[in-house]
Amino acid sequence: MSQFMDMIRLPNFGLGLAKGQFADISHVHQIGAVPSMSQNTTGTIWDVNDTSYPWSSWATAGTLSIPSVNASDDGKDVTIVGLDSSYNYQSETVTVSSSGATTTTGSFIRIERAYISEINVGNVNIQKSAVTVARITAGNGITSMGVYTIPAGYTGYLVKGTCSVQDGADATGDMFVRYFGGDFQLGHSFEVSGKGGQYMYNFDIPIRLPEKTDIDVRATVRSNNARVTAAFDLILDYD
């Protein structure tokens, strides 16, 4: 632990990390955006409006499916990056179809992100037991999910968080964390206003997140329907 803390204080640590110069240490930049959160509504900052992320769908591991897509997206490849039943990293690429659903061969206990080989014309939904657990919003090419789970064998260190809301709106933001086997609890709270500009917080003392910890960034929009974005940076240390 002391060696790790010494490393992140190095002047060029960020550049070295991006270059892969440090063994067993990696970086995650997780982005989230909700297209339009309704006034006086609380929800997770992800690609689905006005909803809390469906964590209950992950009670057990299972295969994922992608329902039929827009005809213009037929034949494109979608790569799903997530965790297997043991919470280890795994990814799988499937070819989507406009004539029927596509199902993974691998079993997932979490999904971290997904992306498509070419920019998608329509929404691409990724489902577990008929519940949408990720969406690639039309035109984005990648998911925008303000949720993340620390993989098995790793410790995560939260080093930065940011949030924005469109002009004319304001919101309360909350980062909830759930340590493995427990319940979600508030880990960080903030206020954000479109007129006030972007909210940003640097954790000079990083927040330590053990393996299998879930993160869920949520927002409550107080005035006007609004697009809300969030992002956070994690350093993953392989134990």
- CB distance 214 to 184 below 8 Å: yes
Does residue 192 carry a pLDDT above 70? yes
Strands (E), 64-179: 65-66, 77-83, 89-95, 102-103, 110-116, 124-128, 131-136, 147-149, 154-165, 170-178
Pairwise CA distance, residues 161 & 176, whole Å: 13
pLDDT on residue 8: 66
For residue range 77-107, list pLDDT tens digits in order.
999 999 999 999 999 999 999 999 999 999 9
Q: Does 143 have pLDDT greater than 80?
A: yes
The pLDDT of residue 49: 97
Q: Say which residue the tokens 């964390």 belong to.
A: 177
Residue 56 or 6, more confident: 56
Q: Return the sign of the alpha-carbon dihedral for residues 43, 142, 196, 199.
A: positive
Query: What is the percent of the chain with per-residue pLDDT over 90, rounded to a whole number?
Result: 85
Q: What is the mean pLDDT of residues 189-206?
A: 93
Question: Over 90: is that where the pLDDT of 12 sits?
Answer: no
Query: Could you tell me the pTM of the whole model?
Result: 0.94
Alpha-carbon distance 81 to 177, whole Å?
A: 21
3 pLDDT higher than 80 = no
Instruction: Please list, in sequence order, all residues whose beta carbon lies within 8 angstroms of the beta carbon of residue 223, skipping any fewer than 6 positions away.
Output: 39, 168, 169, 170
Q: What is the mean pLDDT of the chain?
A: 94
Find, among 145, 140, 135, 103, the residue nearest to 121 by Cα. 140
Question: SS3 for 205-217, per residue?
Answer: EEEEECCCCEEEE
pLDDT at 157: 96
DSSP per position, 173-201: EEEEEE-TTS--EEEEEEEEETTTB-EEE
Q: Is the pLDDT of residue 1 over 70?
A: no
Q: In this predicted model, what pLDDT tens digit does every residue of 111-133 receive, in sequence order?
A: 999 999 999 999 999 999 999 99
Other C-beta atoms lying within 10 Å of the C-beta of residue 181: 6
The pLDDT score that the predictor gives to residue 14 is 85
**Is the model's pLDDT at 145 over the cut of 70?**
yes
pLDDT for residue 9 is more than 70:
no
